[in-house]
Homo-oligomer: A and B are copies of this chain.
Amino acid sequence: VAAEEPIQAVSTSAGSSVAFETLLFNTEDNITTIRLNRPEKKNAITVTMYGEIVKALELAAKDDSVITVITGSGDYYCSGNDLNNFSQIPEGGKEKMAKNAAELLKGFVAAFIDFPKPIIAVVNGPAVGISVTLLGLCDMVYATEGATFHTPFSQLGQSPEGCSTYTFPRMMGAAKASEMLLFNRKLTATEACARGLVTEVFPDSTFHAEVWTRLKAYAKLPRNSLALSKQLVRHVERERLHAVNAQEVERLEERWLSDECLNAIVTFFQAKAKL
């Protein structure tokens, strides 16, 4: 499923970087940064990007960075799953497509569950769908004031993923989690912070400077202490998170074959074509 091109590593005096098709990946000052890099598509996640993020997490887990950062290029953080992923039906038909997509998603989310170092999301703009739910598996989330958080699953005839059916109610209570996960309420950064989804919100104008000052300070903390502390926090929930991931993906595989979902996606593309 993952991209199969050989990965090219480049070392410079400022750090090292690895060449991906859909990501920028580099390590500097003990920080490995994974930057979603399809700004013209609002960093929507294609099949290739799912695979490359998993590969990037594998590299980050093994390199000698202290913390890992995930962020987006351009104005968007990430617009979620690229719905074009559903437009090419493989030889095995819709069922095969749904099965492949479920496998891909399950492995992708598992890579976040099992990531062994602190990972910090730097949300530089609007976040949609799986890019929102995955924040519940990150260790910290810094957001710019203009960021928004939107999980319109039922609108698209789908169901929640990224372990959000567990992490969101635990973090903000069922009454506020369902408003997002079932009823599509889009949050501002300030609202997301009040609900515990975001650690801190910064003004757009100073976001980059303030966040990177902190990240560089964190990257000087004792490496093993940080990694082992993060693993300790995750250990309590790891088994349950994998079980939740499996359930969510199983449910989505059914959803992707439902009329509700197919109709919603057709409507989405029709609306887009009219623009």
Contact = CB atoms under 8 A, between A and B. Distances in A.
B244 A169 contact: no
Interface stretch (A56-64, A76-84, A153-161): A153-161
A172 interface: yes
A122 to B, nearest CB: 12
A269 interface: no
Contacts of A236: 165-166, 240, 244, 247
Size category, A interface: 35 or more
Interface string A142-163: 0000000000011101111000
Given A154-B221, A159-B228, A260-B222, A136 B174 contact: yes
Contacts of A159: 225, 228-229, 232
11 contacts: A136-B174, A141-B175, A157-B224, A170-B173, A177-B233, A178-B233, A179-B200, A181-B229, A182-B226, A182-B229, A182-B230
Contacts of A226: 154, 182
Contacts of A247: 232, 235-236
A15 interface: no
B251 A228 contact: yes
A175 B154 contact: no
A261 interface: yes
Given A222-B264, A258-B224, A175 B232 contact: no
Contact of A232 (B165, B170, B198): B165
B198 A175 contact: yes
Interface of A: 118, 135-141, 153-155, 157-160, 165-167, 169-179, 181-184, 195-200, 218, 221-226, 228-230, 232-233, 235-237, 240, 244, 247-248, 251, 254-255, 258, 260-261, 264
Contact of A176 (B196, B260, B261): B196
A265 B159 CA distance: 47
A260 B179 contact: no
A196 to B, nearest CB: 3
Contacts of A169: 170-171, 233, 237
A225 B171 CA distance: 23
